[in-house]
Each structure stands twice: as structure tokens, then as C-alpha cells.
A and B are shown apart, each in its own frame.
Chain A
Amino acid sequence: MTTPEVHIKATNLAKSVKVADGSLTILHDISLTINRGESVAIVGASGSGKSTLLSLLAGLDTPSEGEVFLGRHPLHNLSEDKRAGIRAAEVGFVFQSFLLLPSLTALENVTLPAELAGIKDAKARGAALLQQVGLAARADFFPSQLSGGEQQRVAIARAFITQPAVLFADEPSANLDAQTGQKVEDLLFKLNKEQGTTLILVTHNAELAARCQRQYRMQAGRFVNKDNEGLADVG
């Protein structure tokens, strides 16, 4: 076995936001290391700072303090446009509320990131992915014509089209009923495994978290079991 390659490394991350009376720190002193190909869950109650952390790791936002590396990219030092470039090339997203563009069809939504990244065979890839998520017949449907579960499957296909090195999923099944959610999760893990993607999954669902190799538990903007590098019990 080769030594695992570090994919994401964060040290002493903190995030403060401006509020009416001064500033509020919503993330304190977060450090973590995630290896390439690993699947990691970030768990915690609503409002504990999971999404905030995810936004920093994915380069959607920059930390107020600390450093975060995605591969060899120092996300904390890069401009918005540089980070956009990295996202286009290396990062995939699945969101809680699907966030498909309402005016594009399912297929067009799937191919959008590929087109932004300038990939030539976007359409063929998109069609193949839709086939994989079982929605080939819905390719020309608009999001408003799809059920929640179908929308999230389209979103998953969209996340994988650029064959990203890392996938961030923010509560991917929280807006779905248990059965549909289960199906979506299965799909996520299946594609993740096939493509060997690093997966960072934000959830408050213990069962879902348990399917990841490792877990970080958050409370009020901090890791509660700071140095848990193994499987932690989340109840």
C-alpha cells in the first residue's frame, strides 16, 4: 500500500462575519486533514457551522484566519476568480435544495459545468451520466417538471460530469423523504466509488454519516472530538 496522499488540509481555520453590533465568530480553530479518495462526514446540529466549514474547504469563501489547501492550491490566498477556476476543474457540489437552474432542462443542467470548463464532449458525457442516474428519459424535462428526488439525481449527475477530484455534498437528502433520500445517497456513494473521488459530506443524519470512512462532529463552530482520526460514534 502506498502512503495516502493528503488532498485537503486545513489549519486553525476561523471565520467571523459582520453583524449589526460588531463581528461574530461562527467558526473557531478548525484543523483537519483529508486524504485523497477518502470519504468524510461532517456532522452536527443545525447552525453548528457545518455549511460554513464546507464553504471554506470548497473555496466558496475565504477564512478570516488560518490556512486551507486543496491539493496544492492555497485557497485562503487565492482570488475569487482563481478559486472559481479551481472549482470548475476539481470540485463538484451537491446541495440540500438541489439548486438546478430553473430555465435549463435536466440535460442542460448536467452539462453546464462541463461547458463552463470547456469540455468538448459535454453532451455525450451528460447523457451518459443521466443514464447512470436513471433519468435518461427525463433529459428534456425542466426542473419544475421533476420530483425532488429526480432533481437531486440530476444534481448528482451534474456534480460528476467534470470528473471532479473532490465532491462536497451539503445535506443531500435532507429535503427528501427517507426512501428517496436513501436512493440518492446510494447513487452518490456509487458514483463516488467508481470515480475514486474524495467525498466531504455534511449532514445531521447519523446513519448517512456512518456510511463515510471518518466523521468530524461540530458544535457551535468547533470540532467537539478534535483529534478523532478514526471512526467516531455519533449518536
Chain B
Amino acid sequence: MLVNIAWRLFWRELHRGELWVIGFALFLAVGSVVSLSGITQSVNSALKQRSAQFSAADRVLRSSQPFDSEVITQAVAQNLKVSRQMQFDSMLFAGDKMQLATIKAVDDSYPLRGELQLNRSSVAGVGDAISTQPGEVYFEARLFDLLNLQVGDKVELGMSRLTVAGVITQEPDAPLSVFGGAPRVLMHLDDVAATEIVQPGSRIAYRYLFAGTEQQLSQFEELMQPQLNAHQRWQKLDNQSAIGGALQRAERFLLLSGLLGIVLAACAAAVAASRYSQRHTQSVAVIKALGATTRQIRLIYGGHLLLVVAFSLVCGIIAGQLAIEAAQFGIQYYLGDFRSAFSWRPIWLGSLTCLICAILFAARPMWRLAGTAAIEVLKNTTLKLELDKLQLLTGALAIWALMWLFSGEFLLSVGLFLLCALFAALLMSVAALLVKLAKPVAAGQSSARRLALANLRRRLWANSFQLITFSLAIFLTLLLYFLRAELIGQWQQQIPEGAPNQFLVNIAEPQRAVLNQFAAEHDLVTGQYYPVVRGRLVSVNDEQLQQEATKEQRSEQRVGIGRELNLTWLAQLPDNNQVVSGTWFDAKSSAQVSVESEIAQRLDIKLGDTLAFSIGGQQLSATVSSIRKVDWNSLQPNFYMILSPDVLADFPATYITAFYLQPEQNLLLNQLARLMPTVTVISVDNIIQQVNSIISQVTIALSFILLIICCAAALVLVAQVQATLEQREQELAILRTLGARHAFLRNALLLEFSLLGGLAGLFATVLAESMLFIVQQRAFDLPFTLHYTLWWLGPVLGIVLVTTLGWLQLKRLMRIPGAVLIRRVLQS
């Protein structure tokens, strides 16, 4: 019976606006949470998969001890794919030539992720995806020249003689920091034993590569973690690339702005629910007088809310999932082998958001409605939109709960919430002040304007809540619009169009001229030449450094770097470097060195310290004259140590440079490799392309959020105007009765809305500018600049948006013939 009544009322109420507004608001909230968290998750896993490609696996377990079959057994038990590899440095012999090389021995299943490209020739360039066979080795291009070998020749490694089969074109897990270092060789794992290189005490890195689903991997990791011995450790996937940082920022930004959209939508839901309740107050009183208990009323109206919630939840989840699918499709387009996975997390996050919004924003007015006393039937209750203090409180609580849910940080959410509360209070007082000021202004105005001002004054004061939500809505739209522009700009700056995508390493002095000529012939622009000399840091202030990187630190000796460094000398500070203490070299500087800040901290190096380097057996020393911060995210050669030009000038140096190569010019790389076989080409084109694809994904996501925020903002406006509809109808009727003409009423209405919109727009502008100030300073480390466009865009947007939406909803009211309006109002 009760169900019948509830259902009937619900069905009939659908054609009135409020339930739709509540439903649409919740739908927006759910849809945006589901899609946003899902999309960031997808982009994140795309990024992970990309770095997996650079590790040739999803997870890597490193060990300094021989392979442990137990590990393999357990991995296979978890249905993981496994590959084993060994890496060691060893001498290669060919005739009278010999060369130290870094040898990597891999099995048949290598690589598990990414692509290995080998070429059965001595020239690097475009290669084929083939795998190593026992008895064969593949060389890095420059080794052919260093050893004076051809494809098909034999090379001696330990006790074995192996056939040189070709050149390594692309090795997925080659270290990216290969600016220098020993040339690389790839061989088959089965051949290692015969070389007899593996002896007790020889330094060999053993690696297990694993690949599988995220679930299998984490299960395996959980299982393995406690069993690892001192010689084994998990290798962290390197996420500190140019994209890593940008994406992290993007994710936080996405969720935060998504949250703001949700808050807006929730406000709309709250307003609509309030109005729904008000409109039903009399009905509830009647039903109660006819004998319904408060509980029954709660069931009826709770049922309404439940239906709306369920409907929006389902639609929101479906829409969100569709958006996720679309995004994953897009990612797949860029990252061919992207494996998308279904996740429950966006769904429960969306559902939780929906419940919080529904319970704390919309349920309260419904609850209050059920409390209406039956006695109200005998009173002539006039509709009043009054601010419910408890509703404000629960709403505020909901906003904070959502902030906490999304940021995952308690303190951050509290801080953010207090900031918002402060803004609200500020807006309230400004609104109050304006109301005071509006009165004397109104005195000298034409009557339409006077009416508009009077209306505005009354409503502003009675309902400064309305002004706040209008301002908030416009503020968020503006903020997001400008932040989006800023964020995208920043990313584009990081990888500008035509940024160098090919790095040339190991260029000898005489090759510079050849390279320049080659570049000129093919219209390539080479960048700066960085001279490189390899050397070890041996002491700081005459204290010897540990030369071996060991686990147990010997306390009496200073920590060292444990490997050779690329040393360079430069007169000019590179663009992506920033001196944090000391001063950069000047013309008179001699025997000085500038140290990168992180390594300075790690090695406890201070300004004025004396560093001694060993280069090819020779010693030299330099005084630390500056500490530099380096942007490691930039795709530029970066150095820990930069010496003043006088120090290294006498040492034989090789050079690094870079240029931009258009995709269709790719075959030039083959020519270049033939021209200068000893030069290593490192292509970052892949990385750049992937970064760009991710940036474009995130940009789409951002635009999507902007759209959501705009919708939510419009929804708030609609809900607010709807809420005053009845009151306005009454006023219009009275004014008509008093003889006001149609044009007069219309002008007054338009004026009222444009004033309100302009005011809200102005508030929003001030808020947005202050927020941008904070964000630029805090998040982006950018100098603050005023956004001039904002100052006209904000108020104009406010006027246009509020007036249009207000007019669209009220023009119906204006069209109703006066007589009808009057009768309708008198009857109710």
C-alpha cells in the first residue's frame, strides 16, 4: 500500500524538475568520479607498462648470487613468465685487439616486455625483432670498429670463441644513462658456462625478469618479499621520467578539480532537495493529518530518494565505464600493446561518493520534510526558502569527507576545507556589505532598475547562499580553464615541438667536423657539444672515498660513488640547471667544480671542499664553487660534475650532442652509423612520442573535467532559479495586479540576473586569481603573473551564464497571461 503511494507520487513528481536535478547531480558526481579515477588509473598503468618495456619485464629481481631454482619454481607456480639474465664486464679479444665490454647473457624468452631489435649486419639502424642464438654474440655498433671485426668473424670471450652475428639496434633494458660506459654485448645464457668466466668471487649481476597480470605479480611479490636474502632485491621500476612527474601532478589535479565539480553537483542536489521538500511540506501535512505516521512518510520520501540514487548510480557507473573504455581505446591506439584491465576501484569510489552526496546533501531536507507536523494543514503556510543550519553542517561535513576520500590525506583535507570555509565566510560578508551599499544607489534609479536592485537586495540577503554557489560555480570554471592552459603549456615546454630526439654519444674531436657537415647536408640542427671525460672521484678534502659500492658501510671511510663519472666543462650554465648556492664560473675561475645538489648531499660535499679526480691514471683537483639543482626530467644531457673550462682542457675528450630527426628521416641513422661507427646513437623518439600521447590523453581528460564542471555549475544555477520559482510567480502576480507592464517586468528581471551574474563573476575572478597565485607558487614554482583575460572573462561569463539560464527558466513565467498568473497564485 505504502509502496503504491510512494511509487505513484514519485512517478507524478518526475515531470517537476527537482528529482531530475538531484538525479542529474548525482549522476554527474558518480560519472565523474568513476571516469576520472578509472582514466588516471589507466594512464598510470600505461605508464607502468611503458616503464616495464624499458625493463623488459614487469618486475625484476636482482641478485649477486647464482640463480636460485626455488624462485623460478614459485614464479611458475604463480603462472608468471620468467626470464633469466646475467650481466658482467669482461675483456673481448679479436686478433691483437682487445676491449672491455659489458656482456649481457639472456635466455630464449628475453625480453618479456618491450622489443629487442637485432640486425644481422655491422650497421645500426632499423633492426628486426630476432632473438639471440647459442654460439652467437651481438655487438653495440662501435665495437666492430674498436675490435676491427666484421659480421661472421669470431671473437674470444673467456675460454669460448663466439660468432659475431650482428648489431644491437634496440635493447629494451639498456641503461638510459649510457652517456659513455663500456660497449655492450649480447649473448645467449647457454654459452656462459663454457666461457668459464663465472668463478667464485667474480662480479656478476644475476637478474630474474617476471611478467604477468598485476594480481599475479603482487601475489608473487608478497610471497617472495619475506624470503629474499641479503643478496637479492627487487628493482624498482623507474618512474622518474619526464612523464612521471607531470602525470603525478596531473592525477592530483584531475581528482581535485573533479572533486570541486562534485561539490558543485552536490550543492545543486542539496538545493533541489530543499525545494522538493518545501513544495511537499503541505502534502506531507495533509497525509499526516489523514493518519500517516512520520515513519511512513520517511519510507515514502526516502523511497523517492532511493530510486533517484539507484538510477543515477547505475547510469553514472555505466557512463563512467564507457568513458574509461574510450580512454583505454585511445591509449591502446598510442601504446600498441597496452593491456587494459577492469578494476572495481572506480566503481566503489563512485558509489561511495554518491552515497555521501545523497545522505549528507539530499537526505537531510527529506528527513526534515518527514518531520512536518500534521497541524500545518490548518495554517496557511507560505513557502519560504530558509537556510537550514544543520543542512549547512552536514553539507560541509560531506564536502570534507569527499576531500578526505580523494586526497587520502587527513591534514590536507582539513586544510583545504578550512580554506573553503574561509572563502565562504568572506563571500557572505562581502554580500552583506553590498546589500547595505545597494540601498542608497537604488534611490536615484529608474523604476525598472530600482525594482531589480530591490529584488536583488532582498534575495541577496535572504539567500547569500545563492550568490556563493553562483560564484563558486563560475570560479571553478575559470580556475580549471586557466589551470588547464597552464598545465598544458608547462608540459609542452618540457618537450617542445622539434626538441632533440636523437642523442649522439662518444663523438671524437675529429668527428665533429664530419658530423657538422653531415648535419648541414641533411638540414639537421645539432645542439650544443658537451665535452665528456670519464673519471673517478677519489677524494674529498684529501679523505679517500670508498671505491666499491658495498652494502655494509665502513664507517671510517667516506661514501663514494662507486663508478666512473662523466665529467664535463662548460663556461655557461645549462638552461635546465639552477645554482642553489655559490656562484657559477666566471672568466677568471680556475680549478673549480660545480656539483649537482643531490649527489652533494649524499656525499656530504660543501662549498669550498676540494675534490680530487682520477682520469686515466692522472690526478687533478678542483674546489667546489657552486651547487646546482638539475631538472632530471628534461631530456637533456645532465652532469653531476661540471668543471671550469681550464681544468680538463688538456684531457682527450669525446663529445655528446643531440638533434631533432623527423620520423620520415629515420633511414639517415643508418647512413650516420656507417659514417661514424664508433658513435652511439640514443634515440629518445619513442619516449617523446609516448609522453606526447599521454599528454594528449590527460589533456582530453582535463577538457572532460572542464565540461563536467560547467555542467555542474549550470545545474547549480538551474536548481537555484527553480528554488525561487514559486516566490517569483507570486511577486509577478502582485506586480501585474498593480499594473506593471510586461516590458518593465522583463527588463527588471534581466537586470536583476545580470547584476547577480556580474557580481558572482567578479567574486569568482578574485577567487580564481588568488587560487592561481597559490597554485603557481606552490605547485609549479612559477613566478606569478596577473591573468588579464580573467578579469574581463569572469564578470562577462557570470553575466551571460546567469542571465541566460535565469531567463530560459523564467521566460515561461513571463509569458503566462497576467490574469492566469493572478488566479493561479490566489488559488494556491
Other-chain residue from A51, A61, A88, A102 in contact with B292 (beta carbon distance below 8 A): A88
Provide the residues of chain B in CB contact with A51, threshold 8 Å.
Answer: 378
Other-chain residue from A81, A88, A91, A103 in contact with B295 (beta carbon distance below 8 A): A81
Other-chain residue from A60, A85, A100 in contact with B378 (beta carbon distance below 8 A): A60
Instruction: Decide if A55 touches B375 in the complex (CB within 8 Å).
Output: yes
With the chains together, A55 CA to B288 CA distance in Å? 13
Instruction: Decide if A170 touches B378 in the complex (CB within 8 Å).
Output: yes
Instruction: Decide if B293 touches A113 in the complex (CB within 8 Å).
Output: no
Instruction: Decide if A103 touches B12 in the complex (CB within 8 Å).
Output: yes
Instruction: Decide if B12 touches A104 in the complex (CB within 8 Å).
Output: yes
Which B residue sits closest to A102, measured CB to CB?
Answer: B283
Instruction: Decide if A95 touches B296 in the complex (CB within 8 Å).
Output: no
Provide the residues of chain A in CB contact with B289, threshold 8 Å.
Answer: 58, 60, 87, 93
Provide the residues of chain B in CB contact with A115, threshold 8 Å.
Answer: 1-2, 4-5
Instruction: Decide if B378 touches A87 in the complex (CB within 8 Å).
Output: no
Check A47 for interface membership: any CB of B closer than 8 A: no
Q: A84-B291, A89-B291, A101-B286 are in contact. Are A116 and B5 (CB under 8 A)?
A: yes
Instruction: Decide if B291 touches A91 in the complex (CB within 8 Å).
Output: yes
With the chains together, A170 CA to B286 CA distance in Å? 13
Distance in Å: Cβ of A190 to nearest Cβ of chain B: 22
Q: In this complex, which of A58, A84, A115, A118 has the most chain B Cβ atoms within 10 angstroms of its Cβ?
A: A84
Q: Which of A144-163 contact B (CB under 8 A)?
A: 148, 158, 162
Check A112 for interface membership: any CB of B closer than 8 A: yes
Q: Which of B689-743 contact A (CB under 8 A)?
A: none
Majority-rule SS of B interface residues: helix
With the chains together, A86 CA to B9 CA distance in Å? 24
Instruction: Decide if A60 touches B377 in the complex (CB within 8 Å).
Output: yes
Q: A60-B377, A81-B295, A95-B377 are in contact. Are A87 and B290 (CB under 8 A)?
A: yes
Q: Mark A113-125, 1 if CB is under 8 A from B, else 0.
A: 1011110000000
Check B265 for interface membership: any CB of A closer than 8 A: no
Q: In this complex, which of A99, A102, A103 has the most chain B Cβ atoms within 10 angstroms of its Cβ?
A: A103
Q: Which of A67-99 contact B (CB under 8 A)?
A: 80-81, 83-89, 91, 93, 95, 97, 99
Check B282 for interface membership: any CB of A closer than 8 A: yes
Q: Mark B803-828, 1 if CB is under 8 A from A, else 0.
A: 00000000000000000000000010
Instruction: Decide if A116 touches B374 in the complex (CB within 8 Å).
Output: no
Q: A84-B291, A112-B287 are in contact. Are A60 and B5 (CB under 8 A)?
A: no
Check B128 for interface membership: any CB of A closer than 8 A: no
Q: A103-B9, A103-B12, A104-B12 are in contact. Are A85 and B375 (CB under 8 A)?
A: no
Check A108 for interface membership: any CB of B closer than 8 A: yes
Check B8 for interface membership: any CB of A closer than 8 A: yes
Instruction: Decide if A99 touches B374 in the complex (CB within 8 Å).
Output: no
Which A residue sits closest to B5, measured CB to CB?
Answer: A115
Provide the residues of chain B in CB contact with A170, threshold 8 Å.
Answer: 378
Contact-residue size bin, chain B (C-beta under 8 Å from the other chain): 20 to 34
With the chains together, A222 CA to B289 CA distance in Å? 25
With the chains together, A155 CA to B12 CA distance in Å? 20
Instruction: Decide if B8 touches A108 in the complex (CB within 8 Å).
Output: yes
Check A54 for interface membership: any CB of B closer than 8 A: yes
Instruction: Decide if A113 touches B12 in the complex (CB within 8 Å).
Output: no
Which A residue sits closest to B10, measured CB to CB?
Answer: A103
Provide the residues of chain B in CB contact with A81, threshold 8 Å.
Answer: 293-295
Instruction: Decide if B1 touches A118 in the complex (CB within 8 Å).
Output: yes
With the chains together, A54 CA to B289 CA distance in Å? 12
Instruction: Decide if A101 touches B294 in the complex (CB within 8 Å).
Output: no
Distance in Å: Cβ of A146 to nearest Cβ of chain B: 11
Provide the residues of chain A in CB contact with B282, threshold 8 Å.
Answer: 99
With the chains together, A48 CA to B377 CA distance in Å? 18
Which B residue sits closest to A113, measured CB to CB?
Answer: B290
Q: In this complex, which of B4, B282, B377, B378 has the most chain A Cβ atoms within 10 angstroms of its Cβ?
A: B378
With the chains together, A100 CA to B296 CA distance in Å? 19
Provide the residues of chain A in CB contact with B388, threshold 8 Å.
Answer: none
Provide the residues of chain A in CB contact with B4, threshold 8 Å.
Answer: 115
Q: Mark B1-42, 1 if CB is under 8 A from A, else 0.
A: 110110011001100100000000000000000000000000
Instruction: Decide if B1 touches A116 in the complex (CB within 8 Å).
Output: yes
Q: Mark B289-305, 1 if CB is under 8 A from A, else 0.
A: 11111111000000000
Number of A residues whose C-beta is below 8 Å from B? 37
Q: A102-B283, A103-B12 are in contact. Are A112 and B290 (CB under 8 A)?
A: yes
With the chains together, A99 CA to B289 CA distance in Å? 11
Q: In this complex, which of B283, B290, B377 has the most chain A Cβ atoms within 10 angstroms of its Cβ?
A: B290
With the chains together, A139 CA to B826 CA distance in Å? 25
Distance in Å: Cβ of B281 to nearest Cβ of chain A: 12
Instruction: Decide if A116 touches B8 in the complex (CB within 8 Å).
Output: no
Instruction: Decide if A116 touches B292 in the complex (CB within 8 Å).
Output: yes
Provide the residues of chain B in CB contact with A158, threshold 8 Å.
Answer: 290
Q: Which of B374-424 contact A (CB under 8 A)?
A: 374-375, 377-378, 380
Which B residue sits closest to A118, measured CB to CB?
Answer: B1
Provide the residues of chain B in CB contact with A103, threshold 8 Å.
Answer: 9, 12-13, 16, 283
Which B residue sits closest to A202, measured CB to CB?
Answer: B378
With the chains together, A108 CA to B246 CA distance in Å? 61
Instruction: Decide if B290 touches A93 in the complex (CB within 8 Å).
Output: yes
Instruction: Decide if A84 touches B286 in the complex (CB within 8 Å).
Output: no
Instruction: Decide if B296 touches A116 in the complex (CB within 8 Å).
Output: yes
Provide the residues of chain B in CB contact with A86, threshold 8 Å.
Answer: 291
Other-chain residue from B8, B296, B373 in contact with A104 (beta carbon distance below 8 A): B8
Provide the residues of chain B in CB contact with A101, threshold 8 Å.
Answer: 9, 283, 286-287
Distance in Å: Cβ of B562 to nearest Cβ of chain A: 80
Provide the residues of chain A in CB contact with B375, threshold 8 Å.
Answer: 55, 60-61
Which A residue sits closest to B380, measured CB to CB?
Answer: A97
With the chains together, A104 CA to B4 CA distance in Å? 12
Q: In this complex, which of A113, A116, A117, A118 has the most chain B Cβ atoms within 10 angstroms of its Cβ?
A: A116
Provide the residues of chain A in CB contact with B283, threshold 8 Å.
Answer: 101-103
With the chains together, A170 CA to B827 CA distance in Å? 17
Q: In this complex, which of A80, A86, A89, A101 has the most chain B Cβ atoms within 10 angstroms of its Cβ?
A: A101
With the chains together, A54 CA to B379 CA distance in Å? 12
Distance in Å: Cβ of B826 to nearest Cβ of chain A: 10
Instruction: Decide if B378 touches A84 in the complex (CB within 8 Å).
Output: no
Other-chain residue from B5, B373, B374 in contact with A112 (beta carbon distance below 8 A): B5
Provide the residues of chain B in CB contact with A112, threshold 8 Å.
Answer: 5, 287, 290
Distance in Å: Cβ of B66 to nearest Cβ of chain A: 80
Q: Which of A40-56 contact B (CB under 8 A)?
A: 51-52, 54-55
With the chains together, A52 CA to B377 CA distance in Å? 11
Other-chain residue from B5, B12, B294, B380 in contact with A80 (beta carbon distance below 8 A): B294
With the chains together, A91 CA to B292 CA distance in Å? 12
Instruction: Decide if B292 touches A84 in the complex (CB within 8 Å).
Output: yes
Other-chain residue from A52, A61, A99 in contact with B286 (beta carbon distance below 8 A): A99
Provide the residues of chain A in CB contact with B5, threshold 8 Å.
Answer: 112, 115-116
Other-chain residue from B287, B293, B377 in contact with A85 (beta carbon distance below 8 A): B293
Q: Mark B357-377, 1 if CB is under 8 A from A, else 0.
A: 000000000000000011101
With the chains together, A204 CA to B296 CA distance in Å? 35
With the chains together, A51 CA to B374 CA distance in Å? 13
Provide the residues of chain B in CB contact with A88, threshold 8 Å.
Answer: 290-292
Which B residue sits closest to A161, measured CB to CB?
Answer: B290
Which A residue sits closest to B13, measured CB to CB?
Answer: A103
With the chains together, A148 CA to B823 CA distance in Å? 12
What 9 A-B pairs come out closest when comparing CB atoms? Answer: A88-B291, A103-B12, A87-B291, A113-B290, A81-B293, A61-B375, A84-B293, A115-B1, A51-B378
With A80-B293, A112-B290, A116-B296 given, name 14 new contacts (CB 8 A). A55-B375, A80-B374, A84-B291, A85-B291, A88-B290, A91-B291, A99-B286, A99-B377, A103-B12, A103-B283, A112-B5, A115-B1, A115-B5, A116-B287
8 of the cross-chain contacts (CB-CB < 8 Å) are: A55-B378, A60-B375, A85-B291, A88-B290, A99-B377, A100-B286, A103-B9, A113-B291
Q: Please give the residue numbers on chain A whose beta carbons come within 8 Å of chain B beta carbons, in ascending order.
A: 51-52, 54-55, 58, 60-61, 80-81, 83-89, 91, 93, 95, 97, 99-104, 108, 112-113, 115-118, 148, 158, 162, 170
Q: Please give the residue numbers on chain B whose beta carbons come within 8 Å of chain A beta carbons, in ascending order.
A: 1-2, 4-5, 8-9, 12-13, 16, 282-283, 286-296, 373-375, 377-378, 380, 827
